[in-house]
Amino acid sequence: MSNNRSILWLRWIAANGCSELVVLVATFATIGYLMIRIDVGHPAGILLSFAITVASGTIEATLVGSAQWWAMHAWFPRIGRMAWWRATLVGALFGYVLVYLPSTLMSMSFRMGKVAAHTLAFEPPLWTTLLQAAVLGAAAGALLSFAQWLVLRDRARQAGLWIPVNMLAWACGMPVIFRGMDLAFKQNEIWQFVLVVGGATLAAGLVVGAINGWFLVVLAGEKT
């Protein structure tokens, strides 16, 4: 990897890690403020909280998309800021739906008496949770990267691999987030909770950025 491409890789990693951390703070602040005003014990409140959470994907798309464009634009000058932001926005919204829909449906079923309370209380083994997180991450990675691939496909010959590379990246990154959340909920102090979640989010962003950033460097050498 040449020095010039190394700069791209490092910029991309930093952009993903730092923006995901900022997203965490912004999203928690927005959702937390709204959630305290919503009755999540009622099905309508559950649906509203789901809608708010998915809508918060616009925050992630704006921050992450802007950071990624900053990292890559010198190597991909034909890709505009708005084009990359729109692609990231579409992927983020679909990804949020995929991640949060199962828990929302489970909560709805429980509130409507269709799922027994002991079913929700069951805690699977850690390895099972992490495996499920990896599968979920792979699916989310496909959704997150599809619209970005539409932007990249006319700029690089191997752009079609952007989707499987991101599936791999998020299959590695999502378990980091899940493990971090598992550890966070075991903390006694709020500052410990925030510190663990923030560290896990930053680590996941760095992992994802390192993997898909490596391939972005490959694409930078094959621009059409």
| pLDDT at residue 51, as a whole number | 74
Task: Give the integer Cα–Cα distance in Å for 146 and 162.
Answer: 8
170 touches 137 (CB < 8 A):
yes
Residue-wise pLDDT for 137-159, tens only, equals 999 899 999 999 999 998 888 99
What pLDDT, on the 0 to 100 scale, is given for residue 109? 65
d(CA 82, CA 206): 24
Low-confidence ranges of the chain (pLDDT < 70): 1-3, 26-46, 50, 101-122, 223-224
Please state the separation of Cα 156 from the chain's center in Å.
Answer: 24
Domains of the chain, by residue range, sit at 3-220
- Report residue 142 as tokens: 């496909």
Q: What is the pLDDT of residues 157-191, one digit of tens each?
A: 899 999 999 999 999 999 999 999 889 888 888 88
Residue 100's CB: how many other CB atoms inside 10 A? 17
